[in-house]
């Protein structure tokens, strides 16, 4: 039986670089079958290495995962980006539009499944280690982990605050008759101000706490030399490489 926490034991660099390799590979896909094969590969990973609760949390964000590529698809359909497959009023759907939609969708899905097995500190320190290596050990500060941790914390906080504010809004407006879709939309837009203010305040509090612990521009609180690969990391690189090259050559 495959252990569900095997991905947690991987080095953060392994997860980040593998995700980056998969993302770049999608730009070389030539047909829809390659996108389908990558989707099947992702579903197999979810089944084998993620618990039922983790899969539930990942699928819980399906709205934002579909909203962003759909919005991009609608915007692209206003222009003709190749041979038109379907036309409706001012919208023109092309092969390029569909492939861009699938790339953005799979990019968000893979990002979500990677973050489900990676915490903010691990990812921040891993990216800092990558910069440390690429600059021949000249960049050794904690500024990169600091930025990454704050950014990811803001995203998580923003998501939680949106849910809390939305629940409060539904409770407050329960039983109230609205005049129409436009009024409901405007009321939802007004909720963005308190959501952003609360999220930014919490991100600022985290930033202050991290700086107080030594995560500042000139500090060397993270010893990148102590971060080393294990055998499972090399195997993961090989596995992802074989799978993606097989899809590319299909």
Q: What is the pLDDT of residues 167-213, one digit of tens each?
A: 776 666 665 555 566 666 666 666 667 777 776 676 676 666 666 65
Q: Residue 217 in 3-state DSSP? A: coil
* Cα–Cα dist 83/222, whole Å: 52
Domain residue spans of the chain: 12-119+230-248, 141-219
What tokens does 220 get? Answer: 């060397």
Kindly compute the dihedral angle of the four CA atoms of residues 45, 51, 53, 56, in this order, to the nearest 10 degrees.
20
Q: What is the pLDDT of residues 30-70, one digit of tens each?
A: 888 999 999 999 999 988 888 888 888 888 777 778 888 88
Are the C-beta atoms of residues 107 and 128 closer than 8 Å to each other?
Answer: no
Residues 211-223, mean pLDDT to the nearest whole number: 59
| DSSP 8-state assignment for residue 174 | T
* pLDDT computed for residue 250 by the predictor: 78
Strands (DSSP E) contained in 56-152 are: 84-88, 91-94
| 10 pLDDT more than 70 | yes
| pTM summary value | 0.71
Q: What is the pLDDT of residues 129-165, one digit of tens each?
A: 777 777 766 666 566 666 666 666 666 666 667 777 7
| 218 pLDDT more than 60 | no
Among 125, 205, 121, smallest CA distance to 157 is for 205
* Cα–Cα dist 32/206, whole Å: 43
How many CB atoms within 10 Å of residue 133?
13
* pLDDT computed for residue 122 by the predictor: 77
What tokens does 204 get? Answer: 């600022």
* pLDDT computed for residue 117 by the predictor: 85
User: Could you tell me if residue 175 is left (phi over 0), alpha (psi between -120 and 50 degrees) or otherwise beta?
Assistant: left
| DSSP 8-state assignment for residue 48 | H
- Output b/e per residue, 4-29; b: 16+ Cβ within 10 A: eeebeebbbbbbbbbbeebeebbeeb
Are the C-beta atoms of residues 16 and 114 closer than 8 Å to each other?
Answer: yes
> Distance of alpha carbon 33 from its chain centroid, rounded?
23
């Amino acid at each position: 039986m495959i252990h569900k926490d095997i991905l947690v034991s991987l080095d953060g660099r392994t997860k980040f670089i593998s995700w980056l390799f998969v993302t770049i590979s999608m730009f070389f896909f030539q047909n829809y079958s390659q996108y389908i094969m990558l989707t099947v590969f992702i579903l197999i990973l979810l089944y084998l290495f993620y618990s039922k609760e983790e899969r539930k949390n990942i699928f819980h964000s399906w709205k934002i995962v579909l909203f962003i590529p759909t919005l991009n698809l609608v915007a692209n359909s206003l222009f003709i980006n190749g041979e038109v497959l379907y036309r409706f009023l001012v919208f023109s759907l092309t092969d390029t539009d569909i492939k861009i939609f699938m790339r953005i969708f799979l990019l968000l899905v893979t990002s979500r499944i990677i973050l489900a097995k990676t915490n903010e500190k691990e990812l921040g320190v891993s990216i800092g280690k990558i910069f440390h290596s690429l600059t021949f050990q000249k960049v050794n500060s904690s500024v990169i982990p600091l930025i990454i941790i704050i950014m990811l914390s803001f995203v998580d906080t923003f998501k939680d605050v949106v849910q809390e504010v939305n629940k409060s809004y539904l409770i407050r407006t329960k039983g109230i008759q609205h005049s129409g879709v436009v009024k409901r939309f405007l009321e939802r837009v007004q909720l963005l101000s308190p959501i952003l203010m609360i999220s930014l305040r919490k991100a600022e509090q985290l930033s202050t706490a991290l700086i107080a612990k030594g995560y500042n521009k000139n500090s060397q609180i993270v010893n990148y030399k102590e971060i080393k690969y294990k055998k499972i990391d090399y195997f993961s690189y090989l596995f992802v490489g074989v799978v993606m090259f097989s899809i590319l050559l299909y």
